[in-house]
Structure 1
Amino acid sequence: MALLRMDNVGIVVDDLDAAIAFFEELGLVLDGRGEVEGDWVDRTVGLTGVHCAFAMLKMPDGRGRLELAKYHSPAAVGMTPPNPPHNTLGMHRVMFAVDDIDDTIARLRRHGAELLDGVGEFDGGFRLCYLRGPAGIILALAQQT
């Protein structure tokens, strides 16, 4: 048995179109949209009565993907507490390498992104920041200097 690849990271959002626009602004490319429902979906995700719209976005080089999902039923469950801090247990951050962190922050702010604090310097070789995006997602950006 061999691990072949990490296929995608999935994120549940409350506004699919806004989340698509946010990640397209970041530079991901919409690869497809669809909806799923039925017994096979219920069995796969462990819920009953699933009706879910989704969008698959890919990195410009095609090597990584992000799946966004909007649950029409059952309704999505909110985070407790809302917008948890970075040290909350569980997966809650996706990091992207960018060529211009300041430009990227400015573009994402037009889509509602908010810096958690500011841009930091790591080991003299990287500028890093965390910002909150759609559905409370923490997005990390890294620019090699």
Structure 2
Amino acid sequence: MAENKLIRMDNMGIVVESLDTVISFFSEIGLKLEGRATVEGEWAGRITGLGSQRVEIAMMVTPDGHNRLELSRFVNPPVISDHRTAPVNALGYLRAMFTVENLDEMVARLSKQGAQLVGEVVQYENSYRLCYIRGAEGLLIGLAEELGK
């Protein structure tokens, strides 16, 4: 029997209230807007299990082109739950981690947009400086700076 092999991870998705606000936030981190579209109809609802739906999406891509973040704003059906204020140890909680060149400069820039540190910036051995921030719409984002590069 042939072994089934993973080909790649295409994207990670986050449901948001305002595409424009969150696109601006992730653009500040360094992602580029690859495109926007509306996904709707019975076929899409069969994938998600929500029935007929209308969702505005924006695809953001990392500078290296290898990773994408799909932002979704549900027009119909309406959002029924909000997990953004859950603690970081809540089951199923999502967080995206990005490696940046200068962590302090990035935190300062994102703070000007309202982002807040969750804890503090810490150094892990001689490898990384790391932190969690709550950015646009309270989304949890990890930032890492590689040391010695």
1:17 aligned onto 2:29: no
How much has 1:62 moved relative to structure 2?
Answer: 0.6
Aligned length: 144
Asked if the contact 2:86/2:93 (under 8 Å) is kept, the reply is: no
Q: Residue by residue, what CA displacement relative to the aligned partner does 1:69-106 show, whole Å, maximum 9, x if unpaired?
A: 000111112325x5111111114111011110011111
Q: For residue 31 of structure 1, what is the aligned residue in structure 2?
A: 34
Give the gaps of 5 or more residues in structure 2: none
Residues 1-145 of structure 1: pairs in structure 2 closer than 5 A: 1-79=4-82, 82-145=84-147
How much has 1:24 moved relative to structure 2?
Answer: 0.4
**Relative contact order, CA 8 A, sep 6+: which one is greater?**
1
Distance 2:94 2:129 in 1: 20
Give the gaps of 5 or more residues in structure 1: none
Distance 1:135 1:43 in 2: 28
Larger of the two Rg values belongs to structure: 2
Asked if the contact 2:129/2:145 (under 8 Å) is kept, the reply is: yes
Question: What TM-score do the two structures reach when normalised by structure 2?
Answer: 0.91
Q: What amino acid is aligned across from residue 95 of structure 1 in structure 2?
A: M
CA separation of 1:136 and 1:78: change in aligned 2, threshold 3 A: farther
Deviating 4+ runs (over 4 angstroms): none
Q: Residue by residue, what CA displacement relative to the aligned partner does 1:47-75 show, whole Å, maximum 9, x if unpaired?
A: 02311000001011111100000001111
How much has 1:117 moved relative to structure 2?
Answer: 1.9
